[in-house]
Chain A
Amino acid sequence: MANRWVLLFVLGVIAVLMAAPLVLTLFTSLKPTTELVNPAWYPPIDLTFEHYIRVWTEGGFSRYFVNTLIISVVDAIVMILIASLAAYAMVFMQFPGKMLLQLLFVLGLMIPVTAVVLPLFQIVRSFGLLNTHLGVIFADLALAVSVFVFMFTSYFAGVPKALHEAARIDGATEFQIYRRVVMPIATPAVVTTALLEFLWSWNDLLLRLLLMTRDEMRTLSVGLLNFQGTMTRDVTGLSSGTVIMAIPVVLLFLVFQRSFVRGMTAGAVK
């Protein structure tokens, strides 16, 4: 019995240490400048939102926030569509070259974004898509689509073939079967895809750093990087910016924790 309490205590300490960096950042962002002389682990006494307002308006974070939101939402929605359509074809349709296509998608699991950013920049530029939401969206989709094609494929593989056959005999088109029969069953895969793609898109720096050079197109990650470069000593501004960037994904995580955990383990544990 005593063992259990020791275990719980150790875990409690670990949990506090893991949460501390986030909590301290939140504390700092809410402190008036006069309280910055206190140690970082002192909670704010006179709560103030002045730093948030400053960063949001003067710091340009409202624009960065909107840009990030547009890209992430479009990424998530389009990813669900294209990955599920492709997976549907891979599972329910017969066509030549299927094996080859599967291999091609496996290749996508291996390509690290970091390694291909230089030519990717050239391609996006040659389409005239530098400094556009669309350029980043295409790059995001392309570099992650494999993961989600396989996620939907393994989900669809569990749909009884008889269900598909029955719908065919009833005269439904493939698209009708996709929409009315298969997709409703695949809701968990849809949720996981939406969450993961949104998260990856929201958090990425490298692609956005390379493809968004004009200030009005910047995302939160690039905005924060820039802010950090020019306002090194602005501790309250930096922590408010960090919190602004973290809040949406933290809320999503807290609400959809189960789906997140399932999605993050799906690739690893079968």
Chain B
Amino acid sequence: MFLDPNSKWAARLNPVLFLLPALSIYIIFAIYPTVSVVEYSFTDWDGISPERNYIGLENYRKMFSDKIFWEAFRNTFVWSGVILVINVGLGLVIAAMLARVWKARLLIQTCIVLPVVISPMAVATIWRWMYQPNGVINQLLEGIGLGALARPWLGDPNVVLYALAFAHSWSTIGLSVIIFLAGLQAVDEDLYEASKVDGATPLQQFRYVTMPALRPVTAVVFILTLTQSFKVFDIVWATTQGGPIRFSEILSTYMYKRGALENQYGYGSAIGVALLVIVSVATIIYLQIQNRKEQ
């Protein structure tokens, strides 16, 4: 009877059996921690002792008056801004060029997309080495007579955040390029033909045909890049750990320091909640755009 697929029992039991593995892991190791991080943020827990007291909004009050939090907050947005400009701006230009080329296209595309699969940890190691005072970047600058620009890239408070953002963009721009490329392939060829007949230059075509047609895809790349750059931890932690001093401190590294290293679990959780809110808002906007595109 149990095996009879049309029995009432099977109809009730089957959804449970099919959903249980995914759902139980998901609830225990994703949903529960998400609820917990909110709960912890209302406590003074140190992460170890059995005792924890609810202290209301104290952690949030502390956070909003914490100068370092605001520095990390500001850095996170500067960081994301730099990455947005490179990944969306340059990403679109590269994709538009790539779409007009047939020779060697796969080879060029492979070079651009390959860094996407490299681990952020490996990216950090590579760029830390290249950014060294006697590293490749400075060697190159001296080689082409721009030695005056050479500097310890990750030790200079004024450039460290930009240098790291650049390294992150190197490893993620390939994703923007392939998304733009897919979008470009969907642009109506007739529009190009028509504009050519009207005597439009390639630049005018880009401005008046390509860009308007790509607006929805651009929105997708924009918000995708934004959400992903907010979440970054690995590459900053593995290079500067937020330093020198706090010039490359972003929200995730600050949270990790307070919560995991200094045992201020409650306070670290409050920073985690801030991160959660920012990323959620960005993701909801992303899903909205996606939905609209599908309709």
Write the residues of chain A forming the contact surface with B, with a CB cutoff of 8 angstroms: 3-4, 7-8, 10-12, 14-16, 18-19, 21-22, 24-25, 28, 39-41, 81-83, 85-86, 88-90, 93-95, 101, 104-124, 138-139, 141-143, 145-146, 149, 168, 171-174, 178, 199, 202-206, 209-210, 220-221, 224-225, 228, 235, 238-239, 241-242, 245-246, 249-250, 252-254, 257, 260-261, 264-265, 268-270
Contacts and interface: CB of A to CB of B under 8 A. Distances in A.
A90 B47 CA distance: 38
B10 A173 contact: yes
Nearest to B36: A119
Contacts of A264: 116, 175, 178
A15 B107 contact: yes
Contacts of A117: 256, 259-260, 272
B119 A270 contact: no
Interface string B120-157: 11101111111000011001000100000000000000
B285 to A, nearest CB: 11
Contact of A145 (B22, B100, B230, B238): B22
A168 B224 CA distance: 41
Given A82-B22, A89-B14, A113-B231, A174 B5 contact: yes
24 contacts: A11-B97, A14-B94, A14-B112, A19-B114, A39-B136, A39-B139, A41-B136, A83-B22, A95-B12, A110-B276, A115-B276, A118-B37, A118-B255, A118-B265, A118-B269, A121-B260, A123-B36, A203-B120, A205-B233, A206-B234, A210-B260, A242-B126, A257-B110, A268-B221
Contact of B269 (A40, A82, A119, A168): A119
Contacts of A268: 179, 220-221, 224, 290
Interface string B211-243: 000000100110010000011011001100000
Contacts of A124: 29
Nearest to A173: B5
A237 B112 CA distance: 26
Interface of B: 3, 5-6, 10-12, 14-15, 18-19, 21-23, 25-26, 28-34, 36-37, 40, 47, 94, 97-98, 100-101, 103-104, 107-108, 110-122, 124-130, 135-136, 139, 143, 170, 174-175, 178-179, 182-183, 202, 217, 220-221, 224, 230-231, 233-234, 237-238, 252, 255-256, 259-260, 265, 268-269, 272-273, 275-276, 279-280, 283-284, 287, 290, 293-294
Contacts of A139: 29
B99 to A, nearest CB: 10
Given A104-B26, A238-B129, A249-B118, 7 more contacts: A86-B21, A89-B14, A110-B276, A143-B29, A143-B30, A224-B121, A270-B293
A60 to B, nearest CB: 15
Contacts of B18: 85-86, 88-89, 93, 174, 178
Contacts of A114: 231, 233, 252, 255-256, 272, 275
A118 B272 contact: yes
A123 B139 contact: no
B111 to A, nearest CB: 4
Contacts of A12: 104, 108
B121 A203 contact: yes
A199 B238 CA distance: 19
Contacts of B269: 118-119
B122 A242 contact: yes
Contacts, number: 287
Q: Among B119, B121, B217, which residue has the most Cβ atoms of chain A within 10 A?
A: B121
A17 B130 CA distance: 13
B122 A250 contact: no
Contact of B25 (A41, A115, A145): A145
Contacts of A146: 26
A7 B97 contact: yes
Nearest to B121: A221
B136 A18 contact: no
B5 A171 contact: yes
A118 B22 contact: no
A68 to B, nearest CB: 10
